[in-house]
Structure 1
């Protein structure tokens, strides 16, 4: 105890001011007659660390499954049909199309920018007559349940800032991601599972895998309990989820009670929000020891489910497995499920790699939509699919019919959504014949974020968190609009 008292007397100026801020906050609550002061420190702080129940709008959705294709899928090979390009094979991209726009260092020094039309056949599918490529035969069957945006765009041209912007609304790391904002705003539907879960799917082809960092699912300046919890694809889903040999559940409970008492003393005297987060993480980990084994026991699924998702769904780590797990999670009350699928960075060998990528995600995406739909869950679950940017119509490096690459392209790319009040069978936005510039209905990432928040019941202008003296928002300081044309 003397050591602790010595620490308090030698506390740093930064910690003193932090402690003072907590005292001022307590005084403010007392002046309002806040009932929060009647409970424990953790109870008070927990109530203040979530907006659960304080929605701005009637929500159309309560859960999200976000499928992020890391590296940037080539929109002109999958969703953005450009038949005019067949007559431009190996001709240079006109300067009137590029208009001096920024290129990556991987192609900015090329002497030529030869047009590489898609080698894949397209057909009209669904009641809206959406053009889709031949590599997505399963997903074509779900097109009338999907909402396509062909006119997404971003300022970021390299992977790390682009994926950070797509996930957090800012190219600079350290801010909370969409999943963390959703957790903070909506709160928990199941106290035995995290509100926000992350899975990284293993691609069949591993030719050019991008690094994926845990900072993408960070809580940033939001309370720490809103960070994503990562489930592993092999071994125990979560490290140390099981008690070590000789330690019973009763012993673990007694140990945690003692640790919590010490942490409560620490919190009462220092007011450090990280202490509260630590208490909650210990408790969640204890509850997950019982809930996670049941969650991950896919042997309880019917044979018809595996017929729907494909045999790959039986193998932990595959995209099909994570898609099935995503359904199981939202079924059990997880608010936000983030899945990353890698190897979409096709600078070369598009013809060799893209079929593998599409096979990985095609049937599982169709299955996820139909599985949610038949269970009555699609109407209040948003499914999102997309990358951090698109790809160029011109080839990076050499060009033959079976050997071409595509560079990063932030000027236009395609994403799709399903469920959660999005208008099914909708195709929004148009790009030029080169799939290079947007010619109608642009949608910025800020608009995309504002629209998702709107469907969850939040006004993006009012959905804020005070940090560094500012009311911070997912959509930042620039204008963002809800794209109402996408909504049912």
Structure 2
């Protein structure tokens, strides 16, 4: 009996010791969240020990995502053979039984549809670029055009989710969330991950918050969406009758209550909420200054085009992306909707290119003249490509194109990227014949440019370790300078 009482007392002491130890660690964690520099002489210290894994070429990313899939055959991948074979059926030996979407109603006929737009060669690499992109042609010596991207997804939702999270299903951390988790923020007054939305004149595909989700990471790593309204970040301003002193007093009391809650329940999300409240408080000063375009010189407004003064446009978001990146935001994600041209592609693509061409090129030029391009990775592209055959009625000046995952084009610039043209497709623009680049390879390469070994940036959830590149991916060293 005495032995049982003794063992019970020892168990109680052990339990009490572990409990107190966890509470002490929790208090230390909360203190480090409220005062980021408390235990570090370097406020830009990596969130995870050992990161970056090697010397980075880029510090931050601006991703200009073209939602809906731009047609590479009308913009970057010129195929003269299609002109000669106008209206002829795509040879079965080329298609090789590819899985098609349900939007191609007649899956027995595949009439080839050449572009109606002229191409010219530009830059040292003599890259062929469509007349629809004259401004992009002007910065061609600063970009790497990758013609050999491919994916397995054939519909927008899984393909879009795949590019953002490395998986075709939901509830995985997005690329920006992974970087926030791995590298943290360069500016304690701004989020590490910001999201900007715009919509063009073409047929749009929806975007949704799961694309910038934190997934199973702490919620502090979720992307912060900026809107085009009077208040760029919702619920950031104080309500009527509440001034900055009142807000500070309220946050201090709320922090004390959350500290008590953490001691009782041990839920790490409580600490994440405290950190989010504190970030919102600091953003009250930083965000209005960054979103104010009135101080931009006329030369910059002219460079980006007049639409950069219209909140919510792609041009305005490109300029805002530069300002956010310049102020230390680790990952700025733009989504521009309107590229889903299943029919009347010429009637849609002209407006889309007008929306994005000048400001995309201006972003490159602007970063370069500020000395920021070398440390900023800029990415431009969609979730897959477009078919070489027509969807719907084909005429000499009108056609539509279905989804095409087997080969498509994106471009990358700055941040250690080697300018030029990489990859090659066949004469039909249907299959890759040289240097294929999978979505996982793209992610692995982007992480490498930021000094991260994609196989080592992991997070354990539900019994297994996850990473952005899942169990695949290889770095494309040929495009790294």
TM-score, normalised with respect to structure 1: 0.90
Which of the residues 287, 308, 314 maps onto 1:313? Answer: 308
C-alpha displacement of 1:211: 1.2
Contact 1:52–1:184 at 8 Å: present in 2 too? no
Cα displacement string for residues 253-281 of structure 1 (whole angstroms, at most 9, x for unaligned residues): 11111111111111122111221111111
C-alpha displacement of 1:37: 7.2
Which of the residues 322, 330, 333 maps onto 1:335? Answer: 330
Seen in structure 2, the aligned counterparts of structure 1 residues 40 and 105 have a Cα distance that, compared at 3 Å, is closer
Cα displacement string for residues 167-191 of structure 1 (whole angstroms, at most 9, x for unaligned residues): 1000010000111111111111111
Aligned length: 457
Which of the residues 220, 241, 245 maps onto 2:240? Answer: 245
CA RMSD, 1 decimal: 2.1
Aligned residue for 2:3?
none
Contact 2:66–2:339 at 8 Å: present in 1 too? yes
Aligned residue for 2:454?
460
1:28-107 superposed matches below 5 A: 39-41=28-30, 43=32, 50-51=47-48, 54-107=51-104
Q: Which whole-Å CA distance do the structure 2 matches of 1:162 and 1:103 have between them?
A: 14
Q: Which whole-Å CA distance do the structure 2 matches of 1:122 and 1:129 have between them?
A: 11
Say yes or no: does 1:404 pair with 2:399. yes
Q: Which whole-Å CA distance do the structure 2 matches of 1:352 and 1:52 have between them?
A: 52
**In structure 2, the residue corresponding to 1:212 is in which secondary structure?**
coil
Which of the residues 182, 185, 204 maps onto 1:188? Answer: 185
Which of the residues 112, 115, 119 maps onto 2:116? Answer: 119
1:139-150 superposed matches below 5 A: 139-150=136-147
**In structure 1, the residue corresponding to 2:148 is in which secondary structure?**
strand
Aligned residue for 1:12?
none
Comparing 184-193 and 53-62, the one that deviates more: 53-62
Cα displacement string for residues 14-45 of structure 1 (whole angstroms, at most 9, x for unaligned residues): xxxxxx9xx69967x99xxxxx6782545389
Which of the residues 449, 465, 469 maps onto 1:475? Answer: 469
Which of the residues 426, 433, 444 maps onto 1:432? Answer: 426
Contact 1:231–1:237 at 8 Å: present in 2 too? yes
1:243-322 superposed matches below 5 A: 243-322=238-317
Contact 1:52–1:187 at 8 Å: present in 2 too? no
Contact 2:199–2:338 at 8 Å: present in 1 too? no
C-alpha displacement of 1:109: 3.2
Runs of 4+ in 1 over 2 A off after TM superposition: 23-27, 36-50, 108-111
Aligned residue for 1:154?
151
Aligned residue for 2:217?
222
Which of the residues 188, 197, 202 maps onto 2:194? Answer: 197
Q: Which whole-Å CA distance do the structure 1 matches of 2:19 and 2:393 have between them?
A: 65
**In structure 1, the residue corresponding to 2:139 is in which secondary structure?**
helix
Q: Which whole-Å CA distance do the structure 2 matches of 1:82 and 1:186 have between them?
A: 42
Q: Which whole-Å CA distance do the structure 1 matches of 2:324 and 2:256 have between them?
A: 32
Contact 2:26–2:263 at 8 Å: present in 1 too? no
Seen in structure 2, the aligned counterparts of structure 1 residues 62 and 53 have a Cα distance that, compared at 3 Å, is farther
**In structure 1, the residue corresponding to 2:294 is in which secondary structure?**
helix
1:355-434 superposed matches below 5 A: 355-424=350-419, 426-434=420-428
Q: Which whole-Å CA distance do the structure 1 matches of 2:382 and 2:29 have between them?
A: 44
Say yes or no: does 1:232 pair with 2:232. no
TM-score, normalised with respect to structure 2: 0.92
Cα displacement string for residues 2-22 of structure 1 (whole angstroms, at most 9, x for unaligned residues): xxxxxxxxxxxxxxxxxx9xx
Q: Which whole-Å CA distance do the structure 2 matches of 1:122 and 1:420 have between them?
A: 28
C-alpha displacement of 1:235: 2.2
C-alpha displacement of 1:471: 1.6
Seen in structure 2, the aligned counterparts of structure 1 residues 26 and 412 have a Cα distance that, compared at 3 Å, is farther
Aligned residue for 2:477?
484
**In structure 2, the residue corresponding to 1:300 is in which secondary structure?**
coil
